[in-house]
Amino acid sequence: MIRNRSSQYPPQVSQSRSYAPTPVLDNFHSASTSDAGSIHNQPIIPTQALPSDADDLPLSHRRALLHQSSILQPSANTRPGNFNSHQPRRQSSAPSPMAREQQLASWRASVAQDLQAQSRKDVQDMERKRSILWQERQQDEQRRQLEMRRKGQKERQRDERIRTSGGGNGASLEDLHRRMLSRMQEEARGNL
């Protein structure tokens, strides 16, 4: 069922309904350039001058009344103590100090484990490389010693061949040396 505005309010007995603006009292000050926008420019409408029915009040008068009441009662604009802006209270997303300490402790422990595992791995890698280097050095040393033995053996064999062969006539090198010395001595005696 649809009702109009007049049916919502009880009928009031009024002498005459006038839609003319309410007369402005003499308290209205004329606007000057220095008073532009101040509260002195607004007409003061006494409460006796209001029509008995709020629906009959023109819009300009309603605005003036609202403006005047807001100026006269500045405390009306302040927030009441139980103001609810329908926004949830902000809660910190940070963990509690105890939980934070536990998280930091577990993080430190995991970092320490990683470092220990890494250091163990590094030590094992270093030991393995050291072992490989040591084995290579041992093999190089054994090769050098083997070559030196072979070289020494070859030199001894060559020296022995030279001593025993005697230059191809069957005499040894020592025999040849003795013969040469005796010849030189004979020649030296003959020249004296």
pLDDT tens-digit map of 139-150 = 999 999 999 999
In order, the DSSP letters of 69-138 are: HHHH-GGGGSPPTT---S-PPP---SPPHHHHHHHHHHHHHHHHHHHHHHHHHHHHHHHHHHHHHHHHHH
User: Which of 9-18, 124-133, 159-168 is the least confident region?
Assistant: 9-18
CA distance 124 to 113: 16
pLDDT at 166 over 60: no
- Positive or negative torsion for Cα 14, 15, 16, 20: negative
Average pLDDT rounded to a whole number, residues 127-138? 95
Name the band, by pLDDT with cuts 50, 70 and 90, for residue 173. confident
CA distance 51 to 15: 11
Q: Each residue of 29-48: pLDDT tens digit? A: 444 455 555 555 555 555 54
User: Which of 66-75, 111-120, 142-151 is the least confident region?
Assistant: 66-75
Name the band, by pLDDT with cuts 50, 70 and 90, for residue 135. very high
Scored b (16 or more CB within 10 A) or e, 60-99 reads ebeebeeeeeeeeeeeeeeeeeeeeeeeeeeeeeeeeeee
pLDDT of residue 14: 47
Tokens of 105: 């402790």
- Cα 121 to the center of its chain, rounded Å: 28
User: Which of 98-102, 156-160, 169-173 is the least confident region?
Assistant: 169-173
